[in-house]
Each structure stands twice: as structure tokens, then as C-alpha cells.
């Protein structure tokens, strides 16, 4: 995959966008009104799966980590993202947990020599990555070595195909794909299900609006 395509999916997240726009636009408007997946439903996914030894990949503003219920008051928390603005913003937001920050491109093998994790979160990352679902699912291969046996990988991604989408959702997705912010023309819930089934001992995928919420066990 070209470096330009990888860069395009995360370049929009400037410090200004993260500070002033992302939470209000994506979490407050797009999720409930356009994608038809309320942000509270994604927070519940975190609450049900996050561990006290957690790696978050594609961290956005860190809103979910700031609001979710960790099972311990002092979790080990690591943040991984290609965009330094996201890492800086999210790290500051959850500074009370003293997070580790790792700048990595998860489409490539991930150099990492620390202890493994018991949970890995990928919320709204996959639809920003270039390629088909079969191609971008290499992310799972690269993250699996960072997971302890029995660890859970969970997250959500916006899909097309058989997922119900309003006219507004179709138009907005098309615009984001033209700009390179999204690359999910070929992403379907069926392709995600197949990618997880090929790599994990157990998994589940649920459609909420046009968001596919997934969970897989190492």
C-alpha cells in the first residue's frame, strides 16, 4: 500500500480538529444521526471488554479511554497510532493513567519489546486504512503477537455492503472516500467476519446501524 494512502487516512486529525471538532462532530452527530450507532453503544463495548492491561490502537481523541470503566484504578494503558497529534492529545487526556505512547504503522510488522496485553481496542480504525478488508486485516496479524493467550481484541468499523445506510450515510461515506479519509468501499460485515474467523479462536460481529462491532479471543 502506498505511503500516500496510509498518510491520507490519518492526516485530517490535526491538533485543531482533535481539540475543537472531533468529539462534537463524530461522537455527538455522526454516530447517532448518520451512522446510527450511538456513541454510548461503543462505550458499552469498551466497558465490557477493556482490561487493566490494555493497548488502544488508533486512539482518536482518547474519549473512550477517558470515559470507560477500567477494572482497576491504575491500569497499564498503552496508546498506539501513526499520527503524533492523536498520541499527544489522547496521552494528555488520560494522563492520570500515565500511558505509554507508541508511534507505529500497524499495516507493517510492529516492533515492540514490552509485556503483552490482555485487551486491544481498535475503534474506528479499519475504515480509515487503505485496501480491501482482506488486505487491511493484516493489522490483526501484526497485533496478535502483542496479545497474551486469552486476550480480547475488540472494536468497531464502518462498513458498506449489506449494512443499512441512509442516503445521508451513503453521501458522507462517498465524500470521505473521495478525500481519502475513509477507504471502506469494499468493507463488508461478511468480509470482517471472515478475517476474524481465520485468525482467532472465537469471535463475534454485530451490526449497529452501519457500524460493525467486533470481538475476538486470542
Could you tell me the CA-to-CA distances from 5 to 2, 169, 180, 186 in Å, in that order?
5, 22, 7, 15
State the pLDDT confidence band at 21, using cuts at 50, 70 and 90.
Answer: confident
Task: Using the Cα atoms of residue 84, residue 85, residue 88 and residue 90 in order, give the sign of their dihedral.
Answer: negative
In this structure, is residue 155 part of a structural domain?
Answer: yes
**Is 210 in contact with 160 (CB distance < 8 Å)?**
yes
In this structure, is residue 83 part of a structural domain?
Answer: yes
In this structure, is residue 35 part of a structural domain?
Answer: yes
In this structure, is residue 61 part of a structural domain?
Answer: yes
In this structure, is residue 64 part of a structural domain?
Answer: yes
In this structure, is residue 130 part of a structural domain?
Answer: yes
Query: How many structural domains are present in the chain?
Result: 1
CATH number for position 193: 3.40.50.150
Domain residues for the domain of 78 are 3-103+116-164+175-217
> What percent of the chain stands above pLDDT 70?
91
- Please indicate, yes or no, whether the overall pTM of this predicted structure exceeds 0.95: no
In this structure, is residue 77 part of a structural domain?
Answer: yes
Q: Each residue of 119-155: pLDDT tens digit?
A: 999 999 999 999 999 999 999 999 999 999 999 999 9
Q: Residue 8: pLDDT above 50?
A: no
Amino acid at each position: 500500500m502506498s505511503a500516500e494512502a496510509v498518510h491520507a487516512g490519518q492526516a485530517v486529525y490535526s491538533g485543531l480538529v482533535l481539540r475543537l471538532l472531533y468529539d462534537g462532530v463524530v461522537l455527538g452527530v455522526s454516530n447517532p444521526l448518520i451512522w446510527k450507532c450511538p456513541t454510548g453503544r461503543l462505550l458499552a463495548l469498551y466497558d465490557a471488554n477493556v482490561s487493566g492491561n490494555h493497548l488502544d490502537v488508533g486512539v482518536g481523541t482518547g474519549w473512550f479511554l477517558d470515559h470507560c470503566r477500567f477494572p482497576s484504578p491504575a491500569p497499564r494503558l498503552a496508546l498506539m497510532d501513526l499520527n503524533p497529534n492523536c498520541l499527544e492529545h489522547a496521552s494528555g487526556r488520560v494522563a492520570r493513567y500515565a500511558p505509554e505512547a507508541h508511534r507505529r504503522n500497524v499495516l507493517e510488522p510492529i516492533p515492540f519489546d514490552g509485556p503483552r496485553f490482555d485487551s486491544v481496542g481498535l475503534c474506528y480504525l479499519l475504515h480509515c486504512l487503505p485496501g480491501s478488508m482482506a488486505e487491511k486485516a493484516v493489522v490483526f496479524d501484526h497485533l496478535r503477537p502483542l496479545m497474551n493467550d486469552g486476550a480480547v481484541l475488540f472494536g468497531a468499523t464502518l462498513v458498506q455492503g449489506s449494512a443499512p445506510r441512509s442516503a445521508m450515510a451513503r453521501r458522507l461515506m462517498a465524500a470521505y472516500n473521495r478525500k481519502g479519509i475513509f477507504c471502506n468501499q469494499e468493507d463488508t460485515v461478511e468480509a470482517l467476519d471472515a478475517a476474524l474467523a481465520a485468525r482467532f479462536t472465537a469471535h463475534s460481529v454485530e451490526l449497529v446501524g452501519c457500524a460493525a462491532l467486533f470481538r475476538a479471543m486470542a
